[in-house]
Amino acid sequence: MAKDPVRVLVTGAAGQIGYALVPMIARGVMLGPDQPVILHMLDIPPAAEALNGVKMELVDAAFPLLKGVVATTDVAEACAGVSVAVMVGGFPRKEGMERKDVMTKNVSIYKSQASALEQHAAPNCKVLVVANPANTNALILKEFAPSIPAKNITCLTRLDHNRALGQISERLGVQVSDVKNAIIWGNHSSTQYPDVNHATVKTSAGEKPVRQLVADDAWLNGEFITTVQQRGAAIIKARKLSSALSAASAACDHIRDWVLGTPEGTWVSMGVYSDGSYNVPAGLIYSFPVNCKNGEWSIVQGLSIDEFSRKKMDATAAELSEEKDLAYSCLS
């Protein structure tokens, strides 16, 4: 029997990530090839005409899974009955800007959209914040939507996770699909800590640790980390625009794994509300390694943390605490 359609909200849908993301969702990349969807697209009035153009293209693409499109500048209408909300709306960083510069503009959006989601989304709606500063926007959304369970509000660090897998695959000349269990700890910013201490590669002789195969700790503890941390800035420099197709693809990966589950023995990175695991301060949205099952994520426990990692995990937590204070000062 055909499944009932799921309503999926994309905010900032007239923007560049939105333009890459909505066809992926309509093709089943996010929720599976047998899951019909109704797309709810929100943008602001100056982008209304462009948003309508995206709607026209979605109609023209004749996606079999797409059962309806709502294109609106009304937040309440956009949030009505949605079970998945991908929050992309906001202002991107331009060349030369620090992420903190975009904070003032973006956190106030997340405060006001929190109430709309609380009032109009389906119960148990899963929320993914993509817009920067992603962790702190998600935290503000959580704090101003107290009736939405904290476990339902997450932010995107899957792009960083995928970037880490990509760098290892390039370095070793192996398929990216054979590399797994990298971890992004902390903030989606240049203080994030990409950690491959537990990552492995599938080889003809079984799974081997990345550290053993790369056999170059100086690279893994140096250039590898900075390349992943700075990849967003490198893309802005090259494209004069921030990453879009990879961000859209990572957003699909994040929701797909959250809803449909992670494969046995594999974890992914998600920005989630810290419960104090790994001595990360509770009350921050911090990226952890997670397993997903039955539509719920859980933080992978018991991984060994060496002194090098500890320092980097603490530094990115400290930045998130500062961002939280700054966000509140922007809102007051």
Residue ranges in contact with ligand NAD by CB under 6 A: 11-12, 14-18, 42-44, 47, 88-93, 109, 130-132, 134, 156, 159, 188, 242-244, 247
Q: Tell me which residue has tokens 């992420």.
A: 99
The single-letter DSSP state of residue 314 is: H
289 binds, among ligand LMR, ligand NAD, none (CB under 5 to 8 A by kind): none
Q: Cα dihedral sign for 115, 117, 119, 125?
A: negative
Closer to ligand NAD by CB, 200 or 269: give it.
Answer: 269
Report the residue from 221, 242, 266, 298 that binds ligand LMR according to the rule CB under 6 A.
Answer: 242
Q: Smallest distance, Å, CB 127 to ligand LMR?
A: 18
Report the residue from 32, 65, 81, 93 that binds ligand LMR according to the rule CB under 6 A.
Answer: 93
> Looking at beta carbons, which residue is closest to ligand NAD?
15
17 binds, among ligand LMR, ligand NAD, none (CB under 5 to 8 A by kind): ligand NAD
Nearest to 302 by CA among 293, 294, 291, 314: 291
256 is in an annotated binding site: no
11 binds, among ligand LMR, ligand NAD, none (CB under 5 to 8 A by kind): ligand NAD
Phi-psi map region of 206: left, alpha, beta (phi>0 left; psi -120 to 50 alpha):
left
Amino acid, res. 234: A
- State residue 285 phi and psi, 5-degree precision: -90, 110
When asked if residue 132 is in the footprint of ligand LMR (CB under 6 A), the reply is yes
Report the residue from 154, 181, 243, 316 that binds ligand LMR according to the rule CB under 6 A.
Answer: 243
Q: DSSP letters of 217-233?
A: HHHHHTHHHHHHHTHHH
Q: Smallest distance, Å, CB 57 to ligand NAD?
A: 15
CB 301, CB 277: distance < 8 Å: yes
313 binds, among ligand NAD, ligand LMR, none (CB under 5 to 8 A by kind): none
The single-letter DSSP state of residue 151 is: G
CB 40, CB 79: distance < 8 Å: yes
Q: Note if the bond before 133 is cis, omega within 30 degrees.
A: yes
When asked if residue 198 is in the footprint of ligand LMR (CB under 6 A), the reply is no
* Residue 188 bears catalytic tag: yes
Closer to ligand LMR by CB, 95 or 207: give it.
Answer: 95
Q: Smallest distance, Å, CB 232 to ligand LMR?
A: 3
132 is in an annotated binding site: yes
Helix (H) or strand (E) holding 197: none
170-209 per-residue burial string, b: 16 or more CB within 10 A, e: under 16: ebbebeeeebbbbbbbbbbbbbbbbbbbbbbbeeeeeeee
Report the residue from 232, 250, 286, 297 that binds ligand LMR according to the rule CB under 6 A.
Answer: 232
Positions marked active-site: 188
Q: Where on the chain is the footprint of ligand LMR (CB under 6 A)?
A: 93, 99, 132, 159, 232-233, 235, 242-243
Tell me the binding residues for NAD(+): 12-18, 43, 106, 130-132
